[in-house]
Structure 1
Amino acid sequence: MSLLPFPPWLSLILYLSLLFILLQRKAAANRKKGHFPPSPPKLPIIGNLHQFGKLPHKSLWRLSKLYGPVISLSLGNIEIIVILSAETARALLKTHDLQSCNKPQTHSIKKLTYNFLDIAFSPYGDYWREIRKICMIELFSMKRVLSYEPIREQEVHLLIESILQSASCGTAVDLSEKSIALTTGVISRIAFGKQFKGDGFHELVSEAEALLGSYSASEFFPTPFVGKIIDWLSGREARLERVFNEINALFQEAIDEHIRPKRSKPEQDDIIDVLLAMSKKQAESYTVVITQESIKAILLNIFLAGLDTGSITLVWAMAELVKNPKLMKKAQEEIRNNLGNRRKVTEKDIEQLPYLKMIVKETLRLHPPAPLLIPREVISHFKIEGYDFYPKTMVQVNVWAIGRDPTYWKDPEEFLPERFEESSIDYKGQHFKFLPFGAGRRICPGINLGVKTVELALANLLYHFNWKLPEGMKEEDLDMEETSGLSLTIYKKLPLKVVPISYRP
């Protein structure tokens, strides 16, 4: 009796298994000797990928209960270390900030940005330092942020006007949808000098964020060639190409419009105006050349960092207040007592509203928009808690887990704005148990811009309306589940739909 040949699928499995074993042995032989953080058991090829779940920040938090505040993981062919305590975050972001401030150059970043000299994703060096200096001084200084106050107030006014129509009919409004429209209006006017209408622009930015925040199959698989085939067959490469072309065309159109000789210039310079003026003068204090590609890169980062984060924070703040009517009443009384019979809350009024500011802080603690900070890449060797961190290692900080750690926070799962009363803790990167915007050289430069928009919108929503849940719903019925959507940010899973009741002083 003749022997039958192996079935093709079995031959493929045997080949891949043998290849994996050889590659694993090669990687083990090449791996530097040292003391590495503990790691959960890995599966062949995918490593720890199966342990991430739909909400990685929660999966990593659960793993930290077993393995400690510093964990080593393998995502296919990618090695990453996760930080889950304030002490280890301080060691990384303060003590070893300079040694770990590179941004990993993933395939998606290289493909999507092409020749955009992308400040958020470029390696740490002279160019990155100079561009960041320009952003901090010219684009996001407090003086510049305050100059955009009329834009924020106008867009918030439009938000209130749109809700008044629903209040007159007694119908529920989708605050998730309204908040996205608000932040899109504010940021597009600040960046481009005009507002973008419709959902297409927000969807394009969200898709770019999803691509930049994820990895391709060629990075996961030990054999990049196989991964590239999978990326091509899955349509990922075509998707990267399409998104880049659309963003590039959009930004180029905006720049061309700004350099048109007969353009009617608005009263307030937008970000493109500022950068184009700098490109002409090339101020002596800066050594880099501002090109059109540089401008596109900066615009991309502004939209990636600011479009979703502000709207997410506003929605979570309102959801927590709707769920806790006593806290909402306390906030409304503070605002209404301060304003009297005036028609709107202005940014100057916000400074007289300490409880409102506590609400925003507590929302950022409990619901940080990006629960895992953007990965950092180690530049030179260092140790944290005796563990070795070698160059090219990726490191992420789980700020969601730190914000809910009972070691640092009493009743961490409760929404208690009063915990910030008479407290100096803020979100500007100096308090490592509270890091919604990160810290060190990679801290978000647009903190002031984002927080001011959220505070102004929240104050006006609470001043102009009383809020109730739709008929038949109770506070305990309000769904507070999270979803990761397409990107690294975390949304409220179900849209926040509430009924506004107009308040007349």
Structure 2
Amino acid sequence: MELSSYIASLSSFWSESDSGSRSVIVTLSLVVLWYAWLYYNRPDSNSRLPPGPRGLPLVGNLLSLDPELHSYFAGLAQTYGPIYKLRLGTKLGIVITSPSLAREILKDHDVTFANRDVPAVGRAITYGGSDIVWTPYGPEWRMLRKVCVLKMLSNTTLDSVHERRRRQVRATVGFIYSRVGSPVDVGEQMFLNVLNVITNMLWGGTVQGEAARLGAEFRQVVTEMTALLGKPNVSDFYPSLARFDLQGVAKQMEGLGKRFDAIFERVIDQRLGMEKEGAKEESKDFLTFLLRLKDEGDSKTPLTMTHVKALLMDMVVGGTDTSSNTIEFAMSEVLNKPEVLQKVQQELEAVVGKSSIVEESHIHKLPYLYAVMKETLRLHPVLPLLVPHCPSETCTVGGYTIPKGSRIFVNVWAIHRDPSSWENPLEFDPTRFLDSKWDYSGSDFRYFPFGSGRRICAGIAMAERMVMYSLATLLHSFDWKLPQGEKLDLSEKFGIVLKKKIPLVAIPTPRLSDPALYE
């Protein structure tokens, strides 16, 4: 008898039975479900799935997941190998933990794996998945990618808003100078610094009032958003239940999104109002650029106002936590290694000098500091599991069948710590990156902190400038020490964006020869 027919007959019998009979029905139903689960997990010579831990009926491996997924997945790889499966409710998860298998996913089968497994909260925050992160691979995604990489985030465009970045970094230096001798939350200040830089590049000085002073509230909202993006959600494990939003996660994310959307609506209305009034000043910010592209857009794949707001959301949410966390990790690793700090400051003194301030033009002359940034991204990659991929068709990877619709986790955190690829992999050693062969192109699958293939991060150029400029400025302008009695903690907290478990709090002391340089 088929399972569906069996359940139908049980349902009919239920209404005509006493309590004793009903208990028998419940027991029989559980037995049937158990055998259905065993059938679902049976070995199949025609569909050879990767190995993996055995799970429970209905929930699979959900109950055994550790909150620190990056290290938990790395531990499972020691038992099940570099490719294994996890039953996540009705979803099948595949975890990849080796350079060769990452190459198969992200290069050899790049088109097949070019889509994302979009979480419910991802759709909620990006206007239904209308941004560059979650949009399915196809003409619309290619249009958004072109707008971001070739237009909005090109080196030429970034050069044109250089002065906006410089002005904000100098303001941050001035604030830290006012706190000399007092503890400073480095991560918080770097978040606000990056946020102000990004919003300044996005819409410049055209917004009046509270929207121009986003401050700590924005950090709270972005932190809550990234936390929700990494939070286990029943809707993702049981897609048929997504419309009920049982945990209220999508509703919570929509509420956070509305706070940003109100700001986006306001800045767009102001910009459009300025144009109607015939404002003559030519603005070089990204919003002006996006609105112009929208008006001049391709009729086949137009850039809509929804796309514009979704891209603004990508820039604000995707560019703040990521860059500020990298700066905080780098500062922590450097302060933990006095010999590294000494080399960084010697290089800065040789290139910049103590009677000048760091400019963006200096950063390409700082190979050791570049090595510090690359080593930081090796040990603490921004997205430890990247953004999950999703195959558009069933295919074979590493000799195993990967079904269409699976959720693919590429554990770049574990790959970057693989002792077969890296000598003393847990040691923070920037010298390993003084060889110029290492870059962010994603062509070497031993090191690809920004991903690889078609869905490689679109904001690499901006992130590189932001992290290097901020890090060079902090270490050149100030000496840093921990508050008395405090010990440096380098432990991580997992999320879709990796962050320090314990914030870095340090006390700055001026290094430059002239106090006027801090103005």
Do these two structures clear the TM 0.5 threshold for a shared fold by scoring above it? Answer: yes
User: How far 1:208 moved relative to its partner?
Assistant: 3.2
1:132 has 2:149 as partner: no
1:56 aligns to what? 69
2:9 aligns to what? none
1:448 aligns to what? 461
Contact 2:222/2:321 (<8 A) preserved: no
- Do the aligned partners of residues 29 and 178 (structure 1) sit closer, same or farther apart at CA in structure 2, a change above 3 Å counting? same
SS in 1 for 2:224: helix
Paired with 2:44 and 2:80, the residues of 1 have a C-alpha distance of 22
Paired with 2:357 and 2:394, the residues of 1 have a C-alpha distance of 54
User: How far 1:423 moved relative to its partner?
Assistant: 3.6
Contact 2:226/2:497 (<8 A) preserved: no
2:219 aligns to what? 202
1:272 aligns to what? 287
Paired with 1:386 and 1:494, the residues of 2 have a C-alpha distance of 42
Q: Which moved more, 1:460-469 or 1:381-390?
A: 381-390
User: How far 1:72 moved relative to its partner?
Assistant: 0.9
1:492 aligns to what? 500
1:45 has 2:45 as partner: no
Contact 1:107/1:215 (<8 A) preserved: no
User: How far 1:504 moved relative to its partner?
Assistant: 2.8
Matches of residues 427-466 of structure 1 in structure 2 within 5 Å?
427-466=440-479
1:184 has 2:192 as partner: no
Matches of residues 335-484 of structure 1 in structure 2 within 5 Å?
335-473=348-486, 477-484=487-494
Runs of at least 5 residues in structure 2 that lack an aligned partner in the other structure? 1-17, 206-211, 514-519
1:216 aligns to what? 233
Q: Which moved more, 1:189-198 or 1:306-315?
A: 189-198
1:164 has 2:177 as partner: yes
**How many percent of aligned residue pairs carry the same amino acid?**
33
- Do the aligned partners of residues 321 and 270 (structure 1) sit closer, same or farther apart at CA in structure 2, a change above 3 Å counting? same
Contact 1:106/1:215 (<8 A) preserved: no
Q: Which moved more, 1:176-185 or 1:193-202?
A: 193-202
Q: How many residues align?
A: 489
1:175 aligns to what? 186
Q: Which moved more, 1:415-424 or 1:440-449?
A: 415-424
Q: Deviations over 1:163-192 (max 9, x none)?
A: 11121xx21211011111111111111222
User: How far 1:243 moved relative to its partner?
Assistant: 2.7
Q: Which moved more, 1:211-220 or 1:297-306?
A: 211-220
User: How far 1:139 moved relative to its partner?
Assistant: 0.7
Q: Deviations over 1:113-156 (max 9, x none)?
A: 44562332121111111221121111111111222221221121
User: How far 1:378 moved relative to its partner?
Assistant: 0.3
Larger Rg: 2
User: How far 1:237 moved relative to its partner?
Assistant: 4.5
Paired with 1:409 and 1:237, the residues of 2 have a C-alpha distance of 40
Give the letter for the 2:214 counterpart: K
Give the letter for the 1:281 counterpart: E
Give the letter for the 2:497 counterpart: T
Paired with 1:353 and 1:262, the residues of 2 have a C-alpha distance of 46
Q: Deviations over 1:81-111 (max 9, x none)?
A: 1111111111111111111111123333344
Paired with 1:265 and 1:391, the residues of 2 have a C-alpha distance of 53
1:257 has 2:257 as partner: no
Matches of residues 21-32 of structure 1 in structure 2 within 5 Å?
21=34, 24=37, 27=40
1:91 has 2:104 as partner: yes
Contact 2:126/2:313 (<8 A) preserved: no
Paired with 2:280 and 2:393, the residues of 1 have a C-alpha distance of 48
User: How far 1:380 moved relative to its partner?
Assistant: 2.5
1:281 aligns to what? 296
Paired with 2:272 and 2:44, the residues of 1 have a C-alpha distance of 53
Contact 1:81/1:394 (<8 A) preserved: yes
Q: CA RMSD of the aligned region, Å?
A: 2.8
SS in 1 for 2:215: coil
Contact 1:366/1:413 (<8 A) preserved: yes
Give the letter for the 2:169 counterpart: V
2:120 aligns to what? 107
Give the letter for the 2:284 counterpart: D
Paired with 1:369 and 1:105, the residues of 2 have a C-alpha distance of 19
1:325 has 2:338 as partner: yes
Paired with 1:467 and 1:26, the residues of 2 have a C-alpha distance of 61
User: How far 1:221 moved relative to its partner?
Assistant: 4.1
Contact 1:64/1:71 (<8 A) preserved: yes
Q: Deviations over 1:222-280 (max 9, x none)?
A: 8x45x765x34x43353144234333322222211211124867765222111111122
User: How far 1:336 moved relative to its partner?
Assistant: 1.0
Give the letter for the 1:188 counterpart: T
SS in 1 for 2:472: helix
Contact 1:108/1:214 (<8 A) preserved: no
Contact 1:217/1:228 (<8 A) preserved: no
1:302 has 2:315 as partner: yes
Give the letter for the 1:347 counterpart: E
